[in-house]
Amino acid sequence: MRYFIDLEFDGTAYSGWQIQPHSPSVQQTLEEALHLFLRENISVTGAGRTDAGVHASQMIAHFDLETPQDCGWMTGKLNGILPPDIAVHSIVPVIPTAHARFDAKARTYKYYVTLRKSAFERGYSWFLPNEPDFGLMNQAARILLVTVDFTSFSKLHTDTKTNDCHVTEAEWSELPDSRWVFTITADRFLRNMVRAIVGTLMEVGRHKLTVDEFARIIESRDRCSAGDSAPAQGLFLHKIVYPDNLFEL
């Protein structure tokens, strides 16, 4: 029986989602917790990787069990074992071929910045002492909607077969308390892509790049021509969408 886990996590203490040789990861922590009460070696597959320090309001992962178990019971057990910075929302059965990564239709990330120094927001947003031009940044962000090849915003030397992505949403919007959020939705994301986009958009907002120069960076297909990656702590994996038929048992 295959199950989807819907969970959230604060990524501050972790090297990212994926298991690392000598650093704690969310995936490893989840697998160890499942093993404690199911007494099986459980392999968990996530919807994607997150970098060290990146958070998730929603992460989806799948795992298999030979003997079906009650989903409410498993959810309660996991939440009782997992540390406070990982919380399981639900566990649901899915069709045997359902895949948390490959079956995702869309993913949404949110990147938060704050214009007001805060002792409490520092772990969940990027503090900007000077306000950038968000209107200009949104002009540049609209170019992402007609972009296909995102090589300029991809981590170098990855094993992906293509750097093509289809972005359907990319916009900065204002929140209360001097905060702004960048929301971006696509069918897939490359490693470090969102943080590289945010860092480069910030160059536009600081008038270090024009909108036309932002477009030329995309056309160059050269990561070295783009801006520095934005800090990890402001980034959240926000939502993952799947076809309804995965849940039709």
Closest CA to 181 of 167, 168, 198, 165: 198
Residue of 51, 159, 212, 228 with catalytic role: 51
Q: Give the tokens for residue 167.
A: 């972005």
CB 154 within 8 A of CB 163: yes
Q: Which residue is associated with the tokens 């076809």?
A: 243
Identify the residue whose tokens are 């079906």.
68
Is 103 marked active-site?
no
Q: What is the SS3 assignment for 23-92?
A: CCCHHHHHHHHHHHHHCCCCCCEECCCCCCCCEEEEEEEEEECCCCCCHHHHHHHHHHHCCCCEEEEEEE
As a whole number of angstroms, the distance between CA 54 and CA 27 comes to: 14
Tell me the C-alpha distance between 206 and 212, whole Å. Answer: 15
Question: What's the residue count for the chain?
Answer: 249
- Which residues are marked as active site? 51
